[in-house]
Structures are given as structure tokens and as C-alpha cells.
Amino acid sequence: MTILRHDVNRGKGAALKTAFAAIARDFPDAVGVVTADADGQHLPADIAAVAKSTMENPGRITLGVRAFDGEVPLRSRFGNAWSRWFFFLLTGTMVYDTQTGLRGIPCKFLRALCDIPGDRYEYEGRMLVAAALMKAKPVQVRIKTVYLEGNRTSHFNPIRDSIRTQAALLAARLSPMQRLPE
């Protein structure tokens, strides 16, 4: 087992990029990787479904998308609805869960994804813009909506982090397009 660490917390985006670089270097023949948030929102069966889709769609990023049904905290329901429509206006691609951390990523994209700016949560949005602007749009796999204890463990600040995330999406869309390999 390999454990990758940063000396200080550099953010989720930096952690993902460090992992992507290590996987691209150490496992060049792998088909893909699956990322899952550590807050208990992703069920093992849903992770397996995203992994299966990644194997079946080697040229496309797979997203585990929640339906936001049942008992969903208002901030999460509103934040995702706003983000979904803002993302559609920017890219012309409807992604039903832009905030999902459950993603299947073909290994052929990993090196290019390491070059996308951002070290925190905004990185995932920028990654999604790059994927949406490709000829092959992201595959969306429906997953269960799970919020433990009203999403109490989330560090997401609805106002501050929404502004940061939307600004990063806009910046990604307006900057020269980050290309992922076809």
C-alpha cells in the first residue's frame, strides 16, 4: 500500500493532483481511477457502479450523480440546483450533480488534469469544465443521495464556497480551454 502525504493541508485539489501524478507514474497501464469523498456520502455499490462505467467508457469521465430526493439539507439542494444551471449556461452541458466527488477518470486524462489550476474544491469544478467542453461529454450514473446527520461533517460554507466555486467555473470557461486527450 502506498500512502501519499503533504506536509501541510494544501486542499482537496492538490491532494487529487498528487494522487493523479502518482497513479500516472506508477500504474501507466491502468484503465482509470475512481475518487470518492471521505464523508460517508458514497455507498460501496455506487462506487462500484462508477468504476464499472469507467471501464465501459474509457474515453469519458464518469460522474456519480445524486437525485437530491428525500431528506436533503436545504443548502445542499439549493446549492446544487444553482450550480447545475450556472454550469449549463457556461458550458452547454447539463450535469445533474456538479458537486459530486464520486468520479471515474480514465488514466489517459490524469497528466492533463494535473495541469488544471486550483488546489481546493474549485479544482473539481475546473476539471468538470474541461470534461464538458470535450467532444465526449461526461457519463452520468445515478447514485443514492446520502447525508449523514444533516451533512454536519461538511466544511462547505454555502455563501463563501459557492462564490469561490462559481468564480472558478467562470474563470475556467473564460480562460484558454484546458484540453484533455481525445
Beta-bridge mates of residue 139: 62
CA gap 137, 144 in Å, rounded? 22
CA gap 76, 82 in Å, rounded? 10
Number of residues in the chain: 182
Positive or negative, the Cα torsion across 127, 92, 66, 142? negative
What pLDDT score was predicted for residue 177?
Answer: 59
- Between β-strands 62-66 and 32-35, what pairing exists: parallel, antiparallel or unpaired? unpaired
Question: Is residue 106 classed as helix, strand or coil in its secondary structure?
Answer: strand
Compute, in degrees rounded to 10, the torsion defined by CA atoms 111, 176, 64, 8.
60
Range list of β-strands (E), the chain: 32-35, 62-66, 103-106, 139-143
What pLDDT score was predicted for residue 24?
Answer: 96
What pLDDT score was predicted for residue 70?
Answer: 67
What pLDDT score was predicted for residue 149?
Answer: 54
CA gap 15, 87 in Å, rounded? 24
Which segments of the chain have a pLDDT < 70?
A: 70-77, 147-158, 176-179, 182
Range list of β-strands (E), 44-175: 62-66, 103-106, 139-143
What pLDDT score was predicted for residue 57?
Answer: 95
* 15, amino acid identity: A
Beta-bridge mates of residue 65: 142
What pLDDT score was predicted for residue 164?
Answer: 77
**Nearest to 111, CA basis, from 181, 159, 170:** 181
Question: Is residue 70 classed as helix, strand or coil in its secondary structure?
Answer: coil
What pLDDT score was predicted for residue 83?
Answer: 84
What pLDDT score was predicted for residue 131?
Answer: 87
